[in-house]
Amino acid sequence: MELSARFGYIRKVTGILLFVIAVFMTAMVQAQPALEIESPGFDFGTVLDNSTLVHHIWLKSAGDDTLEIVDIKTGCGCITAPLEESRLGPGDSALLTLHWRFHSADELSTREPYLFCNDRPGPHRLLLRAEAAPDDGTAATVSCRPRKIEFDRIDRRKDYRRVFTIHNRSDSSLAVALVSTVDGAFSLELPDSVAALGSATGIVILGSEFADKEFERSFTLEFLGGDESAYRVSLVVSRGDFSFRPTLTTKIDTTDSNTTKR
């Protein structure tokens, strides 16, 4: 091979290698983890004091690389945030469940748990808000009775149902909507609306698989008026005795586990 041809061949091979390296480095730079939080803030509305509130949040790995949830800081012992899946591949999702043991000397209370991930140096902040309901409920524009739905004894199939009453003290009709996630512990039958200065009933139906299990859950209803007024009320659903509650802790399982495509 002539010298000029040899140099031409070397330049060609070198050019191809540089192109491959450039593409590889570009891919390396672009492949980054990213966390997408479906709803970082949630308002429980008015709630029963000394009760446990539950909120579910979907965490999605929205980047091109594996997302690692390194730590969850709840800020107080009143919140636990167990998470079994701490490593999420691109496109995978995990459900984070926050349990807030609500007790407030003030009417309005907020908590700000936050997550540390490998997608950025700073934390991802969450926000929970709740307001202690008046003791008698008569001062509230919208209230529910009872505020705690209990399934203490289950003797017959009809015992799987509990009725609660919604009171509307405003001068306009209010549309009713469920704004929280309900798992398999119970289901709901809700009215479409509550008439002005009237009342309506809702039904909580215990899931058959939870008839012999102890649990604490909550659900949140939103009431919308025609003048764009909005009210929220959270009710607690439980089965079992939770008068004694040990200190809650945050748990992250750092082992690899199956993740959920969503």
Mean pLDDT over 148-176 rounds to 88
Residues sharing a CB contact under 8 Å with residue 165, sequence separation 6 or more, in sequence order:
144, 145, 199, 200, 201, 202
pLDDT tens digits, one per residue of 107-116: 789 999 999 9
pLDDT tens digits, one per residue of 97-139: 999 999 876 678 999 999 999 999 999 999 999 999 876 656 7
pLDDT tens digits, one per residue of 179-204: 998 888 999 999 999 999 999 999 99
Compute the CA torsion angle 78, 107, 232, 96 (nearest 10 deg).
-20
pLDDT tens digits, one per residue of 169-185: 999 999 999 999 888 89
Q: Regarding predicted confidence, which is higher, 30 or 25? A: 30
pLDDT at 232 over 70: yes
